[in-house]
Amino acid sequence: MKAKIHVTLKSGILDPQGKAIEHALDSLGFKHVANVRVGKYMELDLQEADRAKAEVAVKSMCEKLLANTIIEDYRYELTA
């Protein structure tokens, strides 16, 4: 099973990188852009056929290491 994990700063937390990119887009003429948020994307293979067990494992990985839940949210997709 493959897990695709997205980690982003929680809404409401200042994202200076997002802001910098927003300004750059603005100066390129993309005037209709707002709320740029930068995150991390990770993917990994799991030696696990059971979807429920894979989900428990990925959730635990996110909570313990992949995301800092004080400042970040995470979401994931599992694909066969």
For the chain, what is the radius of gyration of the CA atoms?
16
Residue 13: C-alpha distances to residues 29, 43, 62 (Å): 26, 25, 19
User: Does residue number 68 form part of the binding site for other proteins (CB under 8 A)?
Assistant: yes
Which one among 2, 20, 24, 30 touches other proteins, defined by CB under 8 A? 20
- CB of 31 vs other proteins, minimal distance in Å: 22
Nearer to other proteins among residue 32 and residue 41 (C-beta) = 41
The whole-angstrom separation of Cα 31 and Cα 18 is 15
| Footprint on this chain of other proteins (rule: CB under 8 A) | 9, 13-14, 16-17, 20, 40, 65-66, 68, 70-71
